[in-house]
Amino acid sequence: MSRAEAERCVLAGRVAVNGVRTLDPERPTNPERDTVSIDGRPLRAARKVYLAMNKPAGCITTAKDPLGRPTAYDLLPPGAGSLQAVGRLDADTSGLLLFTNDTDFAARVADAGGGVEKVYVARIGGRLRPEDARRFESGVELDGTVTRPARCRVLESDERAARVEVTLTEGRNRQVRRMWEALGYPVLELERVRVGPVTLTGLAPGRTRPLDEFERTVILLEEH
């Protein structure tokens, strides 16, 4: 169930904790000690699901869109269950997007304190000056605070545009685009190619695959 659906079930008196009906959706409950039931049936923990998706450009990262635009959730495999995207990629950004029902795992990946690397390949307009690449790495002020140190590697460059690989350890809203725009470079294309140890290798646009145990473990063990 979604959080809203679960709350409605509690308010309707369908949920009991240790055999006692509760009408308080905010009641503290420990699933390791307490027995929670709905309509008299004990609940079991949902099977943990971890998926990597190669999101195509043009898809938005919301479950439903009132404008009827395609969403990344439409591309999830049948029977995947109730999953949440870990962070977001805007509609014009393609590449790696993780989905899970494990809230601890999602919080670890999205932790603003850093630790889990996110790698992007961007094509930016204009001739990239070396001093601006260094400014990107040292930090750019966004919303009154300076971004964490980053890495920038120039893959191709000419007078009209540059193709760069950038590595961040935080995930502010539209961060890569906003950092380059703050330095005077419009982002023409953007793709996320890696999150921690998880890459796009072998994953076609619009397809998903499960994360393996190594990938999950490395993400959880990466330093803050």
| Catalytic residue IDs | 90
CA atoms within 13 A on the CB side of 21: 9
CA atoms within 13 A on the CB side of 183: 24
CA-wise closest residue to 169 among 220, 99, 119: 119
Judge whether 108 and 183 are in contact, CB under 8 Å.
no
At position 18, the amino acid (one-letter code) is N
Report how far apart the first and last C-alpha atoms of the chain are (Å, whole number): 32
